[in-house]
Amino acid sequence: MRNDITPGARFPDYQLTDHTATRRKLSELQAADPMIVVLSRGGFCPKDRRQHEGLIELYREMEVGYCRLVTISTDNLSETNEYRSGVGAHWPFLSDAGRVVQKDLDIPAAR
């Protein structure tokens, strides 16, 4: 992980395509609210699918507290849509099939 990603630091403002095929910046999705960004290996991963099923309950509480949630998936756009629908999520999923975020943040590939 990059050493400049620390608590309180400004997170990079990535621009990726969301589940509606619209290019979105993280800053516009966040607006003035706190935001949690979840990096996902994709819908093929049973651990990630289970984690997102659990996030459904948390998201209800987050909405009440004006907190945003965004998932960045390494799936292509079609797979990202299937993943989002399959877990029943109601927050934005961004497609990063080129793994731009993973590479930029210097996150090692899953083993």
Instruction: Say if CB 37 and CB 16 are below 8 A apart.
Output: no
Q: Which residues of the chain are modeled with pLDDT < 70?
A: 110-111
Span 16-104: which CATH code? Answer: 3.40.30.10
What pLDDT was estimated at residue 110?
Answer: 67
Task: Locate the domains of the chain by residue range.
Answer: 16-104
User: DSSP code of 109?
Assistant: P
Cα 37–86–18 angle (5° rounding)? 45
Q: According to the model, what pLDDT value does residue 12 have? A: 92
Strands 15-18 and 23-25: antiparallel
pLDDT at position 5 is: 85
